Structure 1
Amino acid sequence: MTSLWRNREFNLLWGGQVLSELGDAVARFALPLLVLFLTGSAVQAGVVGTVGQVTSLVCRLPAGVLADRVDRRRAMLAADAARLLACGALAALIVTGHAHLWVIIVVAVVDAGAGTVFGTTEQAALRSIVAADQLPGAVARNEARGYGVSLAGPPLGGLLFGIGHALPFVGNAVSYLASMVGVTLIRRPLQDERPPQPERLRSALAGGVAFVAREPFLRAVLLIAAPLNFAVTGVIFTIVVSLQRQGIAPAVIGLAETVIGVGGLVGAFVAPVLQRRFGLAPLARTICAAATALFLVSALLTGSVTAAAPVAVTLLLAPAANAALFGHLAATTPDHLQGRVLSVIFLGAGSAQAAAPLLAGTLVTHASGAASTLVFTLAVAVATVVAATSRGLRSVRRADPGSGRSTAGSIGGTGDA
Structure 2
Amino acid sequence: MAAVRAPRRPAPASAAAPNLYALEDVVQPTAGEPSATTATELLPSLWRNRAFNLLWVSQCLSDAGTAMSNLALPLLVLQVTRSPAQAGLVGTISLLVSMVCRLPAGVLTDRLDRRRLMVICDAFRVTAYTALGVAILTGVASMAMIMVVVIGGAAANSLFSTAEHAAVRNLVPSEHLSDAVARNEARAYGTSLAGPPLGGLLFGLARSLPFLGNALSHLLSLAALLLIRRPMQQPREQPAQSGGAAGIEGLRFVLDNPFLRALLLIAAPLNMAFTGMIFTIVVSLQRSGNSSFAVGLASMIFGLGGLLGAIAAPTMQGRLRLPTLVLLISWTTALLMAASACVSSSMLAAVPLAAAVFLGPTANAALFGYQAAITPDHLQGRVLSMVYLAATSMGAFAPGLAGLLMAHLSAETTMLIFALIVAVAAITASFSSGIKSMGAVTLSDDVG
Q: 1:336 offset after TM fit, Å? A: 0.8
Please give the residue correspondences for 1:335-350 in structure 2 after superposition, counting only pairs within 5 Å: 335-350=377-392
Choose the corresponding residue for 1:219, options 258, 261, 273: 261
Is 1:69–2:94 an aligned residue pair? Answer: no
Deviations 1:201-253, CA, capped at 9 Å, x for gaps: 11111111111000111111111111111000011111222333445333322
Is 1:271–2:304 an aligned residue pair? Answer: no
Residue 376 of structure 2 contacts residue 445 of structure 2 at CA under 8 Å; is this kept in 1?
no
Partner Cα separation in structure 2 for residue 400 and residue 313 of structure 1 = 30
Choose the corresponding residue for 1:283, options 319, 325, 329: 325
Partner Cα separation in structure 2 for residue 298 and residue 277 of structure 1 = 27
Please give the residue correspondences for 1:354-393 in structure 2 after superposition, counting only pairs within 5 Å: 354-393=396-435
Change over 3 Å in CA distance of 1:312–1:74 after alignment to 2 = same
Aligned equivalent of 2:10:
none
Residue 241 of structure 1 contacts residue 364 of structure 1 at CA under 8 Å; is this kept in 2?
no
Residue 235 of structure 1 contacts residue 376 of structure 1 at CA under 8 Å; is this kept in 2?
yes
Partner Cα separation in structure 1 for residue 417 and residue 202 of structure 2 = 38
Which sits farther off after the overlay, 83-92 or 6-15? Answer: 83-92
Partner Cα separation in structure 1 for residue 407 and residue 72 of structure 2 = 26
Is 1:332–2:374 an aligned residue pair? Answer: yes
Identity of aligned residues (%): 52
Which sits farther off after the overlay, 395-404 or 285-294? Answer: 395-404
SS at match of 1:15: helix
Aligned equivalent of 1:408:
none
Change over 3 Å in CA distance of 1:239–1:34 after alignment to 2 = farther
Aligned equivalent of 2:98:
56
- TM-score, normalised to structure 2's length? 0.86
SS at match of 1:239: helix
Choose the corresponding residue for 1:160, options 202, 216, 225: 202
Deviations 1:170-211, CA, capped at 9 Å, x for gaps: 111111111101110001111111236211111111111111
Aligned equivalent of 2:147:
105
Partner Cα separation in structure 1 for residue 191 and residue 329 of structure 2 = 23
Aligned equivalent of 2:6:
none
Partner Cα separation in structure 1 for residue 250 and residue 59 of structure 2 = 26
Q: 1:315 offset after TM fit, Å? A: 1.4
Change over 3 Å in CA distance of 1:387–1:93 after alignment to 2 = same
Q: 1:398 offset after TM fit, Å? A: 5.2
Q: 1:98 offset after TM fit, Å? A: 2.9
Number of residues of Structure 1 aligned to a counterpart in Structure 2: 405
Residue 292 of structure 1 contacts residue 381 of structure 1 at CA under 8 Å; is this kept in 2?
yes
Is 1:198–2:240 an aligned residue pair? Answer: yes
Aligned equivalent of 2:341:
299
Please give the residue correspondences for 1:84-233 in structure 2 after superposition, counting only pairs within 5 Å: 84-195=126-237, 197-233=239-275
Partner Cα separation in structure 1 for residue 402 and residue 84 of structure 2 = 17
Partner Cα separation in structure 2 for residue 400 and residue 259 of structure 1 = 36
SS at match of 1:98: coil
Is 1:39–2:84 an aligned residue pair? Answer: no
Q: 1:335 offset after TM fit, Å? A: 1.0
Aligned equivalent of 2:37:
none
Q: 1:71 offset after TM fit, Å? A: 0.8
Q: 1:157 offset after TM fit, Å? A: 1.4
Partner Cα separation in structure 2 for residue 98 and residue 150 of structure 1 = 30
Residue 333 of structure 2 contacts residue 359 of structure 2 at CA under 8 Å; is this kept in 1?
no
Which sits farther off after the overlay, 234-243 or 214-223? Answer: 234-243
Partner Cα separation in structure 1 for residue 238 and residue 434 of structure 2 = 35
RMSD: 1.9
Residue 262 of structure 2 contacts residue 434 of structure 2 at CA under 8 Å; is this kept in 1?
yes
Bigger Cα Rg:
2
Deviations 1:48-94, CA, capped at 9 Å, x for gaps: 11111111111111111111111111100111122222222222222
- Which runs of 5 or more structure 1 residues have no equivalent in the other structure? 406-417
Which sits farther off after the overlay, 348-357 or 392-401? Answer: 392-401
- Which runs of 5 or more structure 2 residues have no equivalent in the other structure? 1-42
Deviations 1:338-390, CA, capped at 9 Å, x for gaps: 11111111112221111111222333344432232222222212212211222
Change over 3 Å in CA distance of 1:371–1:103 after alignment to 2 = farther
